[in-house]
Amino acid sequence: MGAAAKAGHDLLLHVTSWEATLEVGDGSSASSLVFDADSSSLRVLQGTGGMQPLSDDDKANIEETIDAEVLLRTELAFRSTTVEARPDGSTLEVAGELTLVGVTHPVGFEITAGADGALAAKIVLTQSDFGMKPYSALFGALKVADEVEIEVDTSEQRALAETIEAPPRRAAIVDPGISSFLWAVLFGLYLVLGMAAIGISWGAAFILALVAAFLIFLLVRTHGVGREDDDRGQSR
């Protein structure tokens, strides 16, 4: 989300360490679901969108940010309060409490069973429900959406797919000069509108934004998007 959303990536993350126990009652006993996960076990499988594909270093930095600034290596646990089967027997309606970053909040979802016995569920979590401020960067111009979709799938095919990382998309290399100019224009415009919104005159806002845009251009041109590929090309 944000003015610079196109510069970011939609991330597919894999929780590599988790366990769950689903007990289905026989009528005389209640059904229950217990789920625990290591919040520091998230790994970036894929990033779609963005100005260029994610590198291994980008993925490692994202994982480090999740541990240090987002989930904080805290407990991630779910305990059901009710688990009820629908008449068709293939769907369970689950309600319970999820603990995330030290905050416990009620959530509900459905679990469906496939013909092979595999279980699947999708849950949409809202970070702000747990007191979390969605992670942002670039002075708020780029931020993570408040809602995050969680998917659980116990099928063997899904497990196999998650162990095989898809080959990286081939993308055109953006010239460092062009990418630097685009960043400068984007944030220059963002600064002009922001300063005008707080009462600074358009003339003053334009001059200040122009100076800031030039500095952003130099920074991105020497250290930012496309520079790594440019340097590699010169070293070949």
The string of DSSP letters for 163-223 reads HSPPPPPP-PPPPHHHHHHHHHHHHHHHHHHHHHHTT--HHHHHHHHHHHHHHHHHHHHHH
The Cα–Cα gap between 206 and 87 comes to: 65
What the chain holds in terms of domains, given with CATH numbers, is 5-163 (2.40.128.110), 176-235 (no CATH)
Residue whose tokens read 């100019």 = 181
The predicted structure's pLDDT at residue 68: 93
The predicted structure's pLDDT at residue 98: 97
Task: Flag whether pLDDT at 142 surpasses 70.
Answer: yes
Q: Which residue has the higher pLDDT, 181 or 52?
A: 52
What whole-number percentage of the chain has pLDDT above 70?
81
For 34, other C-beta atoms within 10 Å of its C-beta total: 14
Residue range 71-80: mean pLDDT, rounded: 95
For 13, other C-beta atoms within 10 Å of its C-beta total: 18
Query: What is this structure's pTM?
Result: 0.65
Nearest to 181 by CA among 206, 207, 217: 217
